[in-house]
Amino acid sequence: MKFFIFYVFFAAFFSCDNENKTAHPLVGLWQVQQIFQQGNELELDKCALLTTSEFKTGGIFFEKRYSERILGCSLNNESGTWSETSENTVRLSFDNRVTAYQNTKFIIDDNMMTLTDGDGSETFAIVFKKVE
C-alpha cells in the first residue's frame, strides 16, 4: 500500500512539473512579414510572403522559403539547428550549408518577432508574425 501511495505521489509530482514548463518564446511557426537590408525595406512578392520558419523544442528549425517563378511559387525547404547563446541571441545553422548565423538577435513582442544581425551592423532584419 505504501508503494502505491508513493507511486501516485511520484507520478502526480512529475506530471505537474512537465505541465508548468513553458516553451522557449521562439518555438512556433512564424511567417515573414517584412525584410530589411541595410535599413531599406525590400519589396516582397506574394510568394515571398508565404515563407515560414518553424522553431521546434530541442533546437531544430524548418524553413519553407517561397520564390516567384513564371508558373507560380517555387518552394525551397531547408532545416537546421538553433540554440540560444545569450539572452535574446541565437545561433542558426542550416543543415545543407557551411554558413551559420552566429549572433542573431531576436525581439518578440506579442505575436511579432524581429530577427537582426547581432553585431549591430543592421545588415538585415526580418519581421515575422506568429501563426501557430
Model confidence band, residue 117 (pLDDT cutoffs 50, 70, 90): confident
Amino acid sitting at position 35 = I
Average pLDDT over residues 31-40: 94
Architecture of domain 24-130: Beta Barrel (2.40)
For 78-114, the pLDDT digits (tens) are: 999 999 998 999 999 989 876 667 789 999 999 999 9
Assess contact for 52 and 29: CB atoms under 8 A.
Answer: yes
Average pLDDT over residues 25-35: 96
Write 72-76 long-range contacts (CB < 8 A, 24+): 72/47, 73/46, 73/47, 74/47
Q: Where are the domains of the chain?
A: 24-130
Q: What pairing do the DSSP bridges indicate for beta strands 112-117 and 28-37? A: unpaired
